Amino acid sequence: MTPNVRPLVAGNWKMNGTRASLDQIKAIAEGVKTPLSEKVEALICPPATLLYVATALCDDSPLLIGAQDCHQNKSGPHTGDISGEMIADCFGTHVIVGHSERRTDHAETDHLVRAKAEAAYEAGLTAIICVGETADERRAGQTLDILKRQLSSSVPASATAASTVIAYEPVWAIGTGVTPTLEDVEKAHAFMRAELVSRFGSDGRKMRILYGGSVKPSNAGELMGIDNVDGALIGGASLKASDFLAIYRVYEQLLA
């Protein structure tokens, strides 16, 4: 954890969820109605089809709702895309950009990710900018070089601690059940913190850096207790309210 930085526990539902899944969001929204919510933020990013209904379910809850991607333009002939303004219009507060699955499946570049983050800022959204190395890059000892390049090229110069969250997700750990060693996570997050401080000064010290990649209730305590790990970006475990809330409640012990 980083001193004086409010952690964020975020769930990325990816291409999962129908109206029947709203019961899980209801349960999460109820489950975070505790004093812990004053110290730790909770966020769920469902598919865009559920965005508006999900925000309506959270009117009386501290649970935040965000989106999984946005287009870099406000509007235009971009069939199938949604803009930052559309997300904000549905009362979304955050948007994930640059997830490795977007970078791979849609050939998104650092330049495009930066443009999407800037579009998120313009719409008043917090951008969760994802970075992380592939298995081949890790084996080649390039992890820190990849993180340096992605942070430099994907994070806009206008980024602030209020508008930006960084999510470190080793591509080889996403959905595989395999996680880096605690030492590997600590080293990567310390490196990213130094890079952010070098570029953004005091804002870099306060910018939240989440860990993502096979986070589950059984390992969340160890991972989120590491220096410079300010929460988690959770995939599969966020689809079940019981799992998400178990991870969220790890902070009851960590912040005690």
Q: Residue 125 sits in a domain of what CATH number?
A: 3.20.20.70
- Per the annotation, the verdict on 169 as an active-site residue is yes
| Assigned domain for 43 exists | yes
| Assigned domain for 2 exists | no
Helix, strand and coil percent figures for the chain, each rounded to 5: 45, 15, 40
Among the listed residues 101, 133, 169, 195, the single catalytic one is 169
pLDDT of residue 176: 77
pLDDT of residue 155: 98
| Assigned domain for 50 exists | yes
* Span 49-76, pLDDT tens digits: 999 999 999 999 999 999 999 999 999 9
* Span 180-227, pLDDT tens digits: 899 999 999 999 999 999 999 999 999 999 999 889 999 999 999 999
> What is d(CA 210, CA 228) in angstroms, rounded to the nearest whole number?
8
In terms of residue numbers, what domain contains 85? Answer: 8-254
| Assigned domain for 31 exists | yes
Token pair recorded at residue 92: 């979304």
Residues 22 and 46: beta-carbon distance below 8 Å? no
- Per the annotation, the verdict on 99 as an active-site residue is yes
Q: Which residues of the chain have pLDDT under 70?
A: none
Nearest to 211 by CA among 7, 5, 4, 3: 7
> Positive or negative, the Cα torsion across 238, 241, 244, 248?
positive
| Assigned domain for 169 exists | yes
How many Å separate Cα 111 from the centre of its chain? 19
Among the listed residues 99, 118, 189, 195, the single catalytic one is 99
| Assigned domain for 168 exists | yes
| Assigned domain for 1 exists | no
Q: How many CB atoms lie within 10 A of CB 15?
A: 7
Place of tokens 């992380």: 132
Q: How many domains does the chain have?
A: 1
Nearest to 247 by CA among 256, 235, 194: 235
| Assigned domain for 99 exists | yes
